[in-house]
Chain A
Amino acid sequence: MLLSEIVSVLFHGAAYGTILYVISVGLSVTMGLMGFANLAHGVFAMAGGYTLTTLMGWYGVPFPLALLAAFVGTAVIGLILERLLYSRLYDAGELVQVLLCIGLIFIAVALARIGFGAQAQRVALPGYLQGQVSILGRDFIAYRVFIIIFSALLITALWIVIERTRWGAIVRAAVDNGRMAQSIGINTAMVFTLTFMLGSGLAGLGGALGVDLLSVQPTYPFEYLIYFLIVVALGGLGTVRGPFFAALLIGIGDTACKYWVPEFGSFFVFLAVTVILGLRPKGLFGTRA
């Protein structure tokens, strides 16, 4: 009986955690690799969510294509905003960066309200992702199984790209010592733009994947910001692995609290975050504070 409860909690928690991961890893990329405190990260996730609901709900685009469109679409939005706004503030102080982001959030919230109304948007998932799948005689929610597998593949891919490819090395070089990177012929502006696009695209992808769980509505960028920040802070800056474990910890911890001690809310999760950050200010896997 207890074993069955533990399996439930681990499964539901892992699914919740991996959704948080997919959305937050983009923030980890922009904030961790590029050093830009992009609080407007949720805006990109929301854009991805709306892209998916609009394409699927209104135009009948199939789910995988809509996911791809959410990734590409938000990456393009990222490109435009990076060239127009963000790139001007790379050398500015954190306060200036944060103010820009807050302004962007307000604008995005208002635009979303005008465009889509105050109601939360949802979509009907394709049949093959609905219902339950039976694994070893137990029923698991099909969509959550899909999310867990998808995220596992994503983190592997990201890890390989950033830690093991030439492009990943260039990004890390540009971040760690921009002048030196430039002087050996790396176009750092270009690298930053591409990295920002990747971060935004990932946010959009996460927002689209998470539509089923975190309903997409105009105040989305505010509502979930705290979770993204916790995941990134706990995981540590400058790593793509860190946020994965942090998100799992939050997801499973939150689910366990809801399941066993609902009267405490998420108290234990936040307690754990406080203790961990107290002991390791750089986060679990952080290379710098």
Chain B
Amino acid sequence: MHKHPALIGLMFTAVWLATSAPASAQTVKLGVVTTLTGSNSLLGEHMDKAIRLYMEMHKSDLPPGVNVQVITRDDGGPSPDKSKQLAQELIVREKIDILTGIVWSPNGAAIAPLATEAKIPTVLMQAGASANVTMSPYFVRFSFGTWSAPYYMGAYAAKHYKKVYIAVSDYAPGADSEAAFEKAFKEGNSDGTIVGRVRMPLATADFVPFLQRARDANPEAIFVFVPAGKLGASIMKAFGDLGLDKAGIKLIGTGDITADEELPTMGNTPLGVITVSHYSGNGDRPANKAFYAAWKKAYGENSIPSFTAVHAWDAMGGIYHAIREQKGKLDPDRTIELLRNYKTDDSPRGPIAIDPRTRDIRQNEYLREVKSVDGKLVNVELEVVGKMVVDPWVEANTK
């Protein structure tokens, strides 16, 4: 049978009409690469939950006729190759407008060239390695940079302790934390000495030997950085077991060792531990109280949001802002422009802004102490030790 040319033309027209017809209903496609399986899936789970919670509660914030479609992919953990492949699939096949999620810094690094090449605005919800945000002009970071917390912890330690021991996990963020802490500590107090240091493998189950060694060096304080999660709890456990608090040694560190969601399982050992972080669930702010209440209502009274949940929540705020301003028709460069100038006073962590020059987040770093409030251990914010600051490494190394 011969096909009639006019008929074929008509068919094409019909197809064209069908695909372009719902012009009034604009769909923004949001690609999410995160970690939902494997041994380190907690942060990814919280990311996913925060995204869904934000969307559920901000439906009315979108312009009329605009809706957001989320397409989530699971990278299974720190796996650069896999996350790159997933990002590629999202960009090429799903034709996403914005890429977000990204728990792990190495995964972020692998995705950076894709974001640059395809001009995909990429909103980092975690990926804290300082250098990560500098890797693509299409990267914007809503989480934190690894250098910030240890740097301001070091500045604080310089004023209070003369002899400090440094114990960090043996991977890139650990090395960064060590360098940042030491820099600020030395700058703040030329008499201060680092009486010893150790880099501990990530696969450590028993931290007692490391802390015993630290104790034998007789410091006034031990600065610790390990990734939040079971390692933070294990090292806290070892600290209590060895009775270092009774020996008059203070435990200080980044918020990772007293992560909000891990505190309930740590017993009373963390009481009095001093940390620096950009977010505390106990933070006394209306926006934080509202966020906490919404989270508990959605995910149960026993679920405690991690800082990653807040990063994701704020990142969604930025993304919705970009969507609103462009009425749902997203242009990559315009989106980046809107994101890099984004600011709000209403984040659960207080005021935040994206630094237009570095595209990294500008936020408060809080000094916190673990205290018992209503019978529960929480991180109580004592003072702002870094007021609306950008990661010091990013600040110094962005051209």
Q: Contact residues of A with B, CB < 8 Å?
A: 5, 8-9, 12-13, 16, 113, 117-124, 130-132, 139, 141, 143-144, 212-215, 217-219, 222-224, 254-256, 258-259, 262-263, 265-266
Contact = CB atoms under 8 A, between A and B. Distances in A.
B284 interface: no
Contact of A258 (B45, B210, B241, B261): B210
B359 interface: no
Nearest to B37: A113
A40 B241 CA distance: 31
B205 interface: yes
A141 B208 contact: yes
Contacts of B200: 258, 262
A138 to B, nearest CB: 12
A234 to B, nearest CB: 18
B233 A120 contact: yes
Given A16-B206, A118-B42, A123-B265, 18 more contacts: A5-B216, A8-B209, A12-B208, A12-B209, A118-B45, A119-B230, A120-B230, A120-B265, A131-B243, A132-B241, A144-B241, A214-B205, A215-B205, A255-B206, A258-B210, A259-B209, A262-B200, A265-B170
A98 B49 CA distance: 37
B243 A215 contact: no
B33 to A, nearest CB: 18
Interface in B191-243: 198-201, 204-206, 208-210, 212-213, 216, 229-230, 233-234, 237, 241-243
A12 B206 contact: yes
Given A143-B241, A266-B201, A219 B206 contact: no
Nearest to B304: A119
Interface string B14-42: 00000000000000000000000111111
Nearest to A16: B206
A141 B205 contact: no
B233 A215 contact: yes
Contacts of A143: 241
Contacts of A212: 237
6 closest residue pairs by CB, A with B: A219-B39, A258-B209, A120-B230, A122-B265, A259-B209, A215-B230
Given A143-B241, A262-B198, A9 B265 contact: no
A122 B266 contact: yes
A12 B243 contact: no
Nearest to A260: B213
24 contacts: A8-B216, A113-B37, A118-B39, A118-B40, A119-B230, A122-B265, A122-B266, A123-B265, A131-B243, A141-B208, A143-B241, A214-B205, A217-B230, A219-B38, A222-B39, A255-B208, A258-B206, A258-B209, A258-B210, A259-B209, A259-B210, A262-B200, A263-B199, A266-B201
B248 interface: no
